[in-house]
Amino acid sequence: MKRIFSRRNLLKLGAGAVGTGIVTAGVGSELAFPRKAVAKDDISPEQALQELMEGNNRFVKRRRKSPNQTFTRLVEIAKGQKPFASILGCADSRVPSEIIFDQGFGDLFVCRVAGNIATPEETGSLEFGSLVLGSKVIMVLGHKRCGAVEATVKGAQVPGQIATLLAAIKPGIESVKNQPGDKLENACKANILSQIEKLKTSPLLSQLIADKKLILVGGYYDLDTGRVTMVS
């Protein structure tokens, strides 16, 4: 694969786009004028994943350290960010990433959408988080009793744009509909794996993975216990 994507090239693209007014002010300034933020800069992707899981373990055991949640930290990262991990999670209000992984300001780059689906917009955001901001791990985080997945399993007729969510989930859960066990749990986990495969079709993300600068994993959050378990 010809390596046409790099942080340097993207920064150049961002600078040019800012000059022509194409990129929005928020994204353009991050691309053209990146600033170093205090973060876990030197950890490996595997260490980043370990950091996430250790944080979840503290949460489950009610031993949260609540790191990087002070006003001092807020000021510290106001001019730049360097999150060590990205989360593609469900919009469900019961699954707040910074809390369940015991992290704080500037630690996580979080994208949330019902059903934790990898839409083009979510994928683009995660590309940005990894290539430009330096996130070392992307976790697709599904959860127990996901309403979007349940509606898809039941073939629910839904109004408006809600139907687009179900359409994005349906292909990924077809393979498990006749499997033994809890049908909804099977479907939720299958959806996580399906969205991971969608993200792998991104040339940017696949190159970072090949270069061992990024890992892409799946997590399943238990609403009853707070525990995140790996599914990939």
Residues in the annotated binding site = 90, 92, 143, 146
| 145 contact partners, CB below 8 Å, separation of at least 6 | 184, 188, 223
Q: Residue 136 is which amino acid?
A: K
CA 190 – CA 175 distance, rounded (Å): 8
Q: Which residue has the tokens 């933020």?
A: 37
The backbone torsions φ and ψ at residue 85, rounded to the nearest 5 degrees and listed phi first, read: -145, 150
Binding annotation for Zn(2+)? 90, 92, 143, 146
Closest to 215 measured CA to CA, from 85, 21, 76: 85
Q: Which residue has the tokens 């940005």?
A: 128
| 176 contact partners, CB below 8 Å, separation of at least 6 | 183, 186, 187, 189, 190
